[in-house]
């Protein structure tokens, strides 16, 4: 009998190595950028969903603490570039178009949801908001980012 200890003790979920077009211009934006920023992905129903747009505005209001703890919020809309661009013009957060829903398929999650990953792309939190749009409070997102920012390098395998 063989087993992979890693699968048994810590099954990892990673962000896909994916670059989605940023609305409204279409330039590719990688989900896992180089550097030390932790992606916070907000999967929304689209520019026409009032509850999703309201949550994006609430998260945008916390941009200072999110950036302070090295967070990188990205809004992912399951629409083409033109429709996602409508949301992109209304928010200060980057909006990415994902009409093929490649991100959701790779993570087995659908909108509305919030995904918090560390700088290496390892997913630490997936919060599916459901039909009721019960998104996590923005301060809970900041708490996750704080936790990820203060992880000791020795525990993460960076120090030898």
Residue 8: φ, ψ to 5°: -80, -40
- DSSP secondary structure of 22-35: EETT--EEESS-SS
Bridge partner list, 115? 41, 126
Opening angle at CA 23, ends 87 and 46, nearest 5: 40
Bridge partner list, 73? 40
Q: pLDDT tens digits for 8-21? A: 444 568 899 899 99
Q: pLDDT tens digits for 103-156? A: 999 999 999 999 999 988 999 999 999 999 999 999 999 999 999 988 766 555
Name the pTM for this structure: 0.85
In angstroms, how far apart are the furthest CA atoms of the chain? 56
């Amino acid at each position: 009998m063989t087993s992979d200890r890693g699968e048994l003790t810590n099954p990892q979920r990673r962000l896909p190595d994916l670059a989605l077009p940023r609305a409204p211009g279409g330039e590719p934006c990688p989900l896992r950028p180089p550097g030390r920023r932790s992606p916070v992905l907000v999967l929304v129903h689209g520019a026409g969903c009032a509850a999703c747009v309201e949550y994006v505005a609430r998260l945008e209001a916390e941009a200072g603490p999110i950036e302070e703890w090295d967070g990188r919020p990205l809004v992912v809309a399951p629409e083409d570039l033109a429709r996602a661009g409508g949301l992109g013009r209304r928010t200060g957060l980057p909006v990415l178009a994902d009409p093929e829903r490649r991100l959701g398929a790779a993570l087995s999650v659908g909108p509305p949801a919030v995904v918090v990953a560390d700088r290496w792309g390892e997913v630490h939190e997936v919060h599916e908001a459901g039909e009721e749009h019960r998104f996590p409070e923005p301060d809970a997102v900041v708490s996750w980012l704080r936790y990820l920012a203060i992880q000791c390098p020795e525990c993460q395998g960076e120090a030898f």
